[in-house]
Amino acid sequence: MYAVELKEVNKRFQDNRNKEFVAVDGINLQIAQGEFFSILGQSGCGKTTTLRMIAGFETPTSGEIYIENQPMGKSPPFHRPVNTVFQNYALFPHLTVEQNMAFGLQMEKLPSREISSRVGEVLEIVKLNGFEKRYPRQLSGGQQQRVALGRSLVKQPKVLLLDEPLGALDLKLRKEMQLELKHMQQQLGITFIYVTHDQEEALTMSDRLAVMYQGKVLQLGAPVEIYEKPNSRFVADFIGESNFLTGLVKEQRGDKLIVLVDKHLPVVVTYPHELPVGKLITLAIRPEKIKIDGTNSSEEKQEDNCWLGKLKEAVYIGTDTRYIIALTEQSSLVSRQQNLHCNLDQYSLGEEVKIRVSPDNIRVIIDE
């Protein structure tokens, strides 16, 4: 039994000119019990609309949504075993932390002893013991976020929906809360469905994630699969950073494909499927997979994918340095090298350097 299942779900809206547009286009998702599942995409891709349909705030135009095997596409939010944490927290400013958390249970007319017990348990989970009597205005942004989270958890939902809940926090606090949310989800065993446009956030926290674009799910899988094996140029470009080279298939030798980039630069790629000679394809290479050596390096030259390039730019970013290397007159590559030895003047602008890329670290993307 899935915690949540979407079958051929569509959502269409009409704009102020009465023109129809598709927000969600026939998506199918199966989300397992106890899974931390993220929906990732740009603004306007349909991710929040999908979450709102699961929550019951929007009704699918067609298709069905199942929550624990029960059809819920047309059920109101209060009939669904889910709760939602919003980006703006929506806390009651005139109520204390304790009162904010207890509010939903009071509306259900639960006994005061049970309410007190549940609120006490959740205060410990979200690490707000000692803050019970404070008001939202007396809390930091991270603490307010915990109150919003606790207010949802206290109702013991089967599924917790989170709509970019860390978006209002500063970078350092956001990274801390990412790990806390993941640990909390593992401790509680509740299914989390998390919507974000932040790629690093989705990769850090998710068991699986779906990448959406123009209302469709382009790729679905574990973070390592999405990052290392993107199935389209959009996914490769949106998740992290990628270099793209366009070339024609020259020949195939077993599981090795030889591609000519800019008509003369041979690139060898590990690719087990057959492609016709002359086919135009795109190659995606992650910057951290590109290794740089000075031309006076004593290391033996690799037979495959060892090229000379000219260093055009170097940008220091703390943990690593971002280099831009001109490979041909038309093509440049970005490489990111870790700053392991504090040798920040290792290469000079305009210097000729060797670039090395393993054939296993190049992804083939077939242009449609």
d(CA 74, CA 102): 28
With a cut of 80, say whether residue 296 has pLDDT above it: no
DSSP code of 38?
E
- Give me the chain's average pLDDT, please: 90
Amino acid (1-letter code) at residue 246? T
d(CA 269, CA 262): 16
pLDDT tens track for 126-143: 889 999 999 999 998 888
End-to-end Cα distance, the chain: 36
Cα-Cα-Cα-Cα dihedral of 323, 287, 276, 258, to 10°? 60
**Confidence grade of residue 367 (pLDDT, cut at 50, 70, 90):** low
pLDDT at 333: 95
d(CA 214, CA 47): 10
Amino acid (1-letter code) at residue 237? D
**Helical H segments across 126-274, by residue range:** 141-153, 171-188, 199-205, 223-228, 233-238
pLDDT tens track for 220-231: 999 999 999 999
d(CA 292, CA 25): 44
Percent of the chain with pLDDT over 90: 68
Handedness of CA 204, 206, 77, 45 (dihedral sign): positive
pLDDT at 303: 65
| 136 in Cβ contact with 93 (< 8 Å) | yes
Crossing angle (nearest 10°) for helices 141-153 and 171-188: 20
pTM tops 0.85, yes or no:
yes
Tell how many helices (H) and how many strands (E) occur in the chain: 8, 20
* Average pLDDT of the segment spanning 141-156: 89
pLDDT tens track for 169-198: 788 888 888 888 898 899 889 999 999 999
Q: Which residue has the tokens 């019970």?
A: 132
With a cut of 90, say whether residue 269 has pLDDT above it: yes
